[in-house]
A and B are shown apart, each in its own frame.
Chain A
Amino acid sequence: AQSVTQLGSHVSVSEGALVLLRCNYSSSVPPYLFWYVQYPNQGLQLLLKYTSAATLVKGINGFEAEFKKSETSFHLTKPSAHMSDAAEYFCAVSDQQAGTALIFGKGTTLSVSS
């Protein structure tokens, strides 16, 4: 069975500060990993994905994540936070099988203060 753990349900940073959102996964097979962002009253938008190619993945809006198999981690980072980054962030895992649903973590709320 697969699972995702997001450490920290709420992360607060100042504008311009480093953003680090933590995600650890559990999977018995090589996983696909994803980060999604959800703005208030919106659907989920894909930020980036790892599909067994490069371990450092760059996404939209300046975000990136690094797949570390030894640590079973896929943490999301952004060098400099913007006010517009305030949202809910979800890490998700899949087992690469066609039609398999994403298993989501519980989400991390990112707050950005000026």
Chain B
Amino acid sequence: DTAVSQTPKYLVTQMGNDKSIKCEQNLGHDTMYWYKQDSKKFLKIMFSYNNKELIINETVPNRFSPKSPDKAHLNLHINSLELGDSAVYFCASSMQGNTEAFFGQGTRLTVV
């Protein structure tokens, strides 16, 4: 039973398109995150939600919009995709008071 699941695992799309990545966790955690891993494997936080409230919003283009319909889901919508958006996007979750994060398998986004 997957703890943090992301869909899709691979996403290939053209420049200018709009796409979404979905994330769900069944761990009962109250905090969820989106991280971006670039081609050099550097991981950087993009967003963090705690109980559906946006906590962290790093310097990310406003083309990226997270949405958390409930504590178990955090989706990432990207408008007007650019070549530079190509990366692996990881969803993660944790429990308040415990910063250990559990990661999904990642979504490899390729913009052509």
Contact = CB atoms under 8 A, between A and B. Distances in A.
Interface of A: 32, 34, 36, 38, 41-46, 49, 88, 90, 94, 96-104, 106-107
A99 B96 contact: yes
| Contact-size category for B | 20 to 34
Nearest to B3: A43
Contacts of A96: 99
A45 B41 CA distance: 15
A49 B50 contact: no
A32 B90 contact: no
Contacts of B90: 43-44
Contact of B106 (A43, A88, A94, A97): A43
A7 B96 CA distance: 31
11 contacts: A43-B106, A44-B43, A44-B90, A49-B100, A90-B43, A98-B99, A99-B50, A99-B96, A101-B56, A104-B44, A107-B42
